[in-house]
């Protein structure tokens, strides 16, 4: 199967986002010096910024990125299916939205 340039770009960017999102956060930073903790905090903040602008920048590159994605399975969804837990709002697909309401 031949991928178009756009598909390649989409795939590469999705992989980048996946790796970035999985960047491990140590359970404890108490073994780090104050300077190291400070730098680590900056890394996390920059990582979060990069994650938060990713979709918008994919759209700038002409990629088709759905506005809302399921927090659990990452499938495109609509704004209506969302839940609020511990003060955070999550978008869900229809399937996971229904499952959440059962719990
Ligand atoms: Zn889902």
Provide the pLDDT for residue 61.
95
Residues with CB under 5 A from ligand 1 (ion): 70, 72-73, 93, 96
Provide the pLDDT for residue 22.
82
Residue 83 has pLDDT above 70, yes or no: yes
Residue 100 has pLDDT above 90, yes or no: no
Helix (H, G, I), strand (E, B) or coil at 1: coil
**Same domain (yes/no): 59, 70:** no
CA of 30 to the centre of ligand 1 (A): 36
Tally the domains of the chain: 2
On whether the CB atoms of residues 13 and 54 are closer than 8 A, the answer is yes
**Same domain (yes/no): 10, 41:** yes
Could you report the per-residue pLDDT of 1-17, keeping only the tens digit for each?
A: 567 999 899 999 989 98
Residue 93 has pLDDT above 80, yes or no: yes
**Same domain (yes/no): 54, 13:** yes
Residue 97 CB partners (closer than 8 Å, separation 6+): 77, 81, 82, 83
**Same domain (yes/no): 15, 51:** yes
**Same domain (yes/no): 41, 12:** yes
CA of 99 to the centre of ligand 1 (A): 9
Provide the pLDDT for residue 30.
86
DSSP 65: -
- For the whole model, what pTM was predicted? 0.61
Beta bridge partners of 62: none
**Same domain (yes/no): 5, 46:** yes
On whether the CB atoms of residues 92 and 77 are closer than 8 A, the answer is yes
Could you report the per-residue pLDDT of 25-81, keeping only the tens digit for each?
A: 666 888 899 999 999 889 989 999 999 999 899 999 999 888 888 988 988 898 889
CA of 42 to the centre of ligand 1 (A): 31
Burial class (CB in 10 A: 0-12, 13-18, 19+), 92: buried
CA of 12 to the centre of ligand 1 (A): 22
**Same domain (yes/no): 46, 81:** no
CA of 37 to the centre of ligand 1 (A): 35
Could you identify the residue written with the tokens 């996390």?
44
* Residue 51 belongs to domain spanning: 1-65
């Amino acid at each position: 199967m031949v991928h178009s340039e756009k598909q390649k770009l989409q795939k590469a960017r999705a992989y980048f986002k996946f790796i970035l999102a999985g960047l491990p956060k140590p359970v404890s930073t108490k073994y780090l010096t104050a300077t190291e903790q400070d730098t680590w905090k900056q890394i996390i903040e920059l990582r979060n910024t990069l994650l938060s602008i990713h979709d918008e920048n994919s759209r700038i590159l002409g990629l088709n990125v759905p506005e809302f994605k399921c927090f659990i399975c990452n499938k495109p969804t609509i704004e209506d299916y969302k839940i609020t837990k511990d003060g955070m709002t999550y978008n869900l697909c229809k399937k996971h939205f229904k499952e959440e309401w059962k719990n």
